[in-house]
Amino acid sequence: MIRFILPSLLLAAACATPAAAPTPLSATPQQLHANVAAFAQPTQDGRLAALKAQLDVAGLAYEIESFDGERAPPAAGHNVVVRLGPDEGREILLTAHYDAVVLKDGKLVDGAVDNAGSVVAMIETARRVAGRTKHPVRLILLDQEELGLIGARAWIDAHGVENIAAVINADVNGNGDTLMYGLNNGQQSLFMIGAVKAVCAERAISCLDFPQYPPSDDRAFSAAGAPTISLGHQPKVEAERLRHFLISPQGYDPAAPPPKVLTLIHTPNDTIAAVEPAALALAADTFTALVLKLDATLE
């Protein structure tokens, strides 16, 4: 064995190229879980403060891009943006909204699965890919998604989509092992479906495509013409129930339980109790693999 290994080691030493950035140690599933818990705040400003604190700990420098929003006064929204990788070139965007729904009684939900779980998984993804991509990567934690994709539209109005190579959006993560994605983000997004399928096969993870995936900030980007995919997770049986329900609400067995996610998000049930540490780690692993695949295969 050594006879075969030695020459390759010597060859590697002789061909030494500038070292790629070392892969950072992953946050533990428990750390990711604690980060999701920290988003349970009485106000949207509290969620923003939690987000900033986590970016500081992750060593990710950010800028706040404020916009005229549509929230009850004060209306302004605040997108939080981290830029990684080279300055020039077509960008891979990582997006997730950090705002949460206000219920009729005026209370802000904890928004753990929707959508702190995605935010935390995306921050971890950004931390892991930092310095390892040939494309610029921009992590955009968006505000006011729940009010109608307001933060995403404000970002697109300010920056356009001409320089976007791909948008990976995350919404509804941290609960379950099955990756869900849609087939309905336009022709320009077909190569991203292929990349997701390849990651699913290579990593032997459970994945489920939806003919019509529920909308998130991805719709603002795909409507503007950018290649886009939106990724969520649920337990496999729940993902299959949701897919069935969305394809044919009339055909859904009235005796069967409704898809659990519909009684979870936008309700007081969407708390840290619904979030699994391992599901957060799985989401970060999958998102990281997808970013690196797209970076390697895109022009």
Our CB check for Zn ion shows the closer of 218 and 285 to be 218
Residues 11-40 that bind Zn ion (CB under 5 A): none
Q: 174, 175, 172, 213: which is closest to 193 by C-alpha?
A: 213
Report the alpha-carbon distance of residue 39 to residue 206 in Å, rounded.
28
78, containing H or E segment: strand 77-84
Using rule CB under 5 A, residue 115 touches Zn ion: yes
DSSP characters over 12-24: HHHT--SPPPPPP
Q: Near Zn ion by CB under 5 A, which window of 71-79, 165-173, 238-246, 271-279?
A: 165-173
Phi, psi of 115 (to 5 degrees): -155, 25
Our CB check for Zn ion shows the closer of 214 and 227 to be 214
Q: Near Zn ion by CB under 5 A, which window of 38-46, 114-122, 227-235, 247-255?
A: 114-122
- 114, 124, 143, 276: residue in contact with Zn ion (rule CB under 5 A): 114
Report the alpha-carbon distance of residue 137 to residue 219 in Å, rounded.
20
Phi, psi of 283 (to 5 degrees): -60, -45
Instruction: Name the token pair of 278.
Output: 């391992």
- 65, 143, 171, 276: residue in contact with Zn ion (rule CB under 5 A): 171
Instruction: Name the token pair of 242.
Output: 């949701």
CB of 31 to Zn ion, least distance (A): 23
Using rule CB under 5 A, residue 110 touches Zn ion: no
Alpha helices per DSSP H over 143-276:
150-159, 190-203, 218-223, 236-247
Tokens 């190229």 identify what position? 17
CB of 118 to Zn ion, least distance (A): 7
Report the residue count for the chain: 299
Using rule CB under 5 A, residue 99 touches Zn ion: no
Report the alpha-carbon distance of residue 218 to residue 44 in Å, rounded.
22
Using rule CB under 5 A, residue 270 touches Zn ion: no
Q: Near Zn ion by CB under 5 A, which window of 83-91, 111-119, 132-140, 199-207?
A: 111-119
CB of 255 to Zn ion, least distance (A): 29
Using rule CB under 5 A, residue 173 touches Zn ion: no
CB of 10 to Zn ion, least distance (A): 52
Instruction: Name the burial class of residue 48, with classes exposed (0-12), middle (13-18) and buried (19+) by CB atoms within 10 angstroms of its CB.
Output: buried
Q: Near Zn ion by CB under 5 A, which window of 26-34, 39-47, 150-158, 169-177?
A: 169-177
CB of 165 to Zn ion, least distance (A): 24
Binding residues for Zn ion (CB under 5 A): 114-115, 171
